[in-house]
Structure 1
Amino acid sequence: MTQSNEDIALHRAHEALEVGEVEQATYLARQVLKAAQSSRDTLDEGRALACLADCDRLRSQLRRAHRNSLSAVHLLRQGQDLAGEVMALTTLSHTAGSLGRLDEAVESARLAVTLSEGLPPSHLQPLAYNYLGTALLWSRDFARAESAFERSADLVHADEPTASPLQPLMNLALLEAVRHAALRFQTGTTPALGKLNDRLTDCAEMIERHGDEGLLPGMTATTRTLLHLLQGLAAAWSGDAQSMAAALMWCDAWDASHGSVSWLTALRRWLEMEAAWCCGDVALAMALGHEMVAAAAEAEHESLACLGHLMVATLARVQSDSRAEADALRQLHQREQSLRLEALDSRDRAQEWQLQARASADQIVRLESRSRMLEQLSLQDSLTRIPNRRALDRQLAARRAAANGDDAPACMALIDVNRFKHINDTFSHPVGDQVLRIVADVLSRSVRTSDFVARLAGDEFVVLFGQATLPLAQQICLRMKEAVRDYAWHALAPGLEVSISIGVEQGRQGETMQALLRRSDEQMYADKRRARTPA
């Protein structure tokens, strides 16, 4: 199949994303989106929006990424692109979880998992489980999150044993760091670091064997930086000042090259807070905790901002500063309440979109149904309810195509109601109309299922015989004549008698339909003359 310009542009956009060229990918995806919206190609529109959502996510424009991925999910579902829908759902789940819309994040990821399991094995299954783990992580359902990440890592190996499950392994390490922070707030003590160190060792070994690309393209710098940040946190919690300083130096280099604020900026503030805390500078640690919240909010990572409030509350609790602790918890509660309202508003908009899409789909179905009905009516004779001349022409064209260029069907019969004008003049036009309806019904019941009966015009009818020799067609015609003759016409009008004349001919090689129709017409008039001649 030849690729369209849009397919090529989207392929180039994804290639740009793989090497971190977000601006180039954005430009290409926007060109595809513009063309798709102009041509009303909903499938290409959905694919372009999904690509733009990934671009927005890498730029930490998570609210826009969420909107674009939500629209992409609906359009790709409408276009029946199942793989594309799974990819868009993972982006939707990731952005929803980062924005603190945790119910939506879990629901989207679970749907992605279910849909991906109906596809052939590929990177989509581990990707879906990875983002299910992420949604559960920010929901602080650590046990289920751990299970999802481990399932993701296992699926990477199952699909391609030489591939790297680095992304779910990194998330397992992040999970241990977040769990460590949550337990420290709950218990007031520093939890054991054995599991976190084990996870970090797994990540380092995986990078040593396979490099630092994971399931998601364009994430090499992010992966390296996240690993150093997590190693720095583990070092701070264990009192290893030298390793903690090395991690901060790596982050300095990343900050210099990256420039803009991202969720990793917030994680760095977390590490700096832990370093200050480790060194006994409580005032600096508190200030850095607030900076963590501000950086997370600027990067639109609301779940990480909530974690920042928890870090500040933990630090205040350890220092027995009840006022500062209460203030941090109050801010956390206000943020979570705001996120709940924002999530409800987002779900309301999504529901409204779905209702509009459903109404649009229902309207399309109704229009298609009406179109089919009108099409059917246009091929039906309004008086007799059998096919009309237009339907006959279509049937002839179809039979010519099926015969590989043979212009004539096997046999054709032209039928005329004898003395029809006399019937109209003697018994009235309504009776004449009823005669035509009955004749049409009798003819239709007298032929085989492979034969085609149509009203040509006035009191003339045509029968196209499917795969019939001339003797067989003549036998069917005789049966039709007898059925019309023997009908109880007197029940319609006393003294009424109806008969038909039929001309049946077999097609000749290379003969046109007009020529066959003309010969049938001649035979029909010959039959009519014979009927008028006394025996």
Structure 2
Amino acid sequence: MRELLALHRLRLGDFKEAVQQGLLALEALTSSGDLLRQSKVHCTLALAFTDTGLKEQALQHVLAAIEAARDCGNTTAEFWALSRSSTVHGSMGDLARGVELGRQALALSRTLDDPEVNFVALNNLSDSCLEAARVQRVQGLNPSPTLHWGLSLVREAVAVAHAQGHTFFETIALTNLVSILIELDEHDEAREQAGRSKALANVNGFHNLEVNNDAQLAEVVRAEGHLDDATAMMEAQLADPSLDNDPPLLIRLHESLFEMHKESGRFERALAHHEKLHALTLNMTTQTAEIQSQMLINTMGIEQANHEAERSQLEAEMLRIRAEELEQQANTDPLTRLPNRRALDRELPNLMDRAQDLAQPLCAAMIDMDHFKRVNDVHGHGIGDQVLAEMATLLRGVTRESDLAVRVGGEEFLLVLADTSPAQAEKVCERLIASVRGFAWGDLAEGLACTASVGLAARQTSESVAQWLARADAALYAAKNGGRDRVVAA
């Protein structure tokens, strides 16, 4: 019950009560050992702390959410924890980490048959791209690649929401789409999509979103250089009494009006908006500080701890490192120390995207130790484990930093070679099996000799991952049937 109250209070903007109920819920769930529900409550608390600017506390809870989700093996919970973690890191100004976590969440969402999860992953990552691009622009960097990536993500989010008939999600995604189009100076489409979003908001009674769409339309007009028209639109919007319930939008409007009046030489009106902007900002800061104070007092009382600022920072850093270690462990095969299948699912899409963006070839080599069962039967499983560990070392010897070597399972490995033609890949694989053939296996056990077979396939543009790897697997079987200790290309 308390976890539901925490979530409900969060949605109502009652952050103080959300934190109090969430911490009490955590106490009970920790005692019961319910990791799944613990992860959900940690996510709720992370959002409450983020929205009130308590970033260190937010970071602690998202890290705990990820750990609890992974410990209970729930992929959906892990997705939400990664998604919330992306939000927290973005709010802390660590946009690169926020984007990376968003990418991980999106990759995880692709494995789930859940349209809502898929929409959230796409829409949130597109928003992270928008924020990252704005920072890149300020830093004098080219934001175009990031913006175009975000554009493709948010278009997909709109399509997902539309296909599900979820008008609220569609309206939200359209709002993000308009923001990215404005950054790309695609004014005509930005106006069209803002009108589409406003129409949906109007029909379905999403008044806050409709008001935001009006502000976006004014931003489009401003971006086109029509300052007087944009000014008139924003001044008219300020007359809407409902804006009193939306301080962030009020601040945005006064800030834009201050800048436009100043640019147009209307300094008295610019000053008036600047004064209102200052008053609103001060009021929000004061209110936030009061909420933060109450939340921290509640937190200290419930947790019975008096955290000093330096210790909090240290604990947050330790938790971050621990989370990275857990992530590394979750993606590493303990015997060979190679990435495992989970890491393959995470990293392979990145390699494929890079190869496609740069028009580079990508080859997959399926590798299998020959007669490995005989090694275990004759020499024992301990020697078999040593053979696999040595095989991993030989595999690293032909693997570059840009490649990916994975233990798929048992005695089978996968080598993905980036920016490598089929002919080059075949040479790499020939070197590999020669090193296996020539290795001093007898040092591990008297009479031991090992070879390996390889099936090689270059990825074709039109085929899926499953089709590509299936061709490599078929080539591996051909190598086995052809006498083993050889490379066969699909």
Structure showing greater radius of gyration is 1
TM-score (norm 2): 0.50
